[in-house]
Amino acid sequence: MIVLKTPAEIEAMARANQVVARVLAAARAEVKPGVRTIDLDAMAEDMARQAGAKPSFKGYHGYPYSLCCSVNSEVVHGFPRSDPLKEGDILSMDFGVVLDGFNGDSATTVGVGRVSPEAQALMDATESSLRAGIEQMRPGMRLGDVSAAVQKVAETAGYSVVRQFVGHGIGRALHEDPQVPNFGPPGRGIELKPGLVLAIEPMVNSGGYEVKILADGWTAVTADGKLSAHFEHTVAVTENGPRILSLLPKSGD
Ligand code: MF3
Ligand code: CO
Q: Is the CB of 68 under 6 A from ligand 1?
A: yes
Predicted confidence at residue 250, as pLDDT, reads: 86
Helices 143-156 and 117-135: crossing angle in degrees, nearest 10, is 160
Pocket test for ligand 1, best of 67, 168, 174 (most atoms within 8 A of CB): 174
Nearest-CA residue for ligand 1 atom 11 is 57
Ligand in nearest proximity to the CA of 107: 1
How confident is the model at residue 253, as a pLDDT? Answer: 56
Give the per-residue pLDDT at 60: 98
Three-state DSSP class for residue 242: strand
| Ligand 1 geometric centre to CA of 12 (Å) | 20
User: How close are the terminal C-alpha atoms of the chain, in Å?
Assistant: 38
Backbone torsions φ then ψ of 152, nearest 5 degrees: -60, -45
What are the sequence ranges of the domains in the chain?
A: 7-244
State the pLDDT at residue 135.
98
Alpha carbon 201 to chain centroid distance?
5
61 CA: nearest ligand 1 atom: 12
Residue 252, pLDDT score: 60
DSSP designation for 247: P
Question: Which pLDDT value is given to residue 251?
Answer: 75
Secondary element (H or E) of residue 152? helix 143-156
Ligand nearest to the backbone CA of 234: 2
> In angstroms, what is the span from residue 25 Cα to ligand 2's centroid?
17
What is d(CA 83, CA 204) in angstroms, rounded to the nearest whole number? 25
**What contacts 39, CB < 8 A, 6 or more positions away?**
30
Give the SS3 label for residue 13. helix
Residue-level pLDDT, tens digit, the chain, 253 residues: 999 999 999 999 999 999 999 999 999 999 999 999 999 999 999 999 999 999 999 999 999 999 999 999 999 999 999 999 999 999 999 999 999 999 999 999 999 999 999 999 999 999 999 999 999 999 999 999 999 999 999 999 999 999 999 999 999 999 999 999 999 999 999 999 999 999 999 999 999 999 999 999 999 999 999 999 999 999 999 999 999 999 999 876 5
Which atom of ligand 1 is closest in space to residue 57's alpha carbon?
11
Task: Give me ligand 2 centre to Cα 206, in Å.
Answer: 21
Which chain residues have CB less than 5 Å from ligand 2, an ion? 105, 199, 201
Beta bridge partners of 167: 180
| Cβ-based burial of 206 (10 A; exposed 0-12, middle 13-18, buried ≥19) | buried
**CB crowding 30-56: b at 16 or more within 10 Å, else e:** ebeeeeebbebbebbbebbeebebbbb
Other beta carbons within 10 Å of 240:
9
Which class would CATH give 7-244?
alpha beta
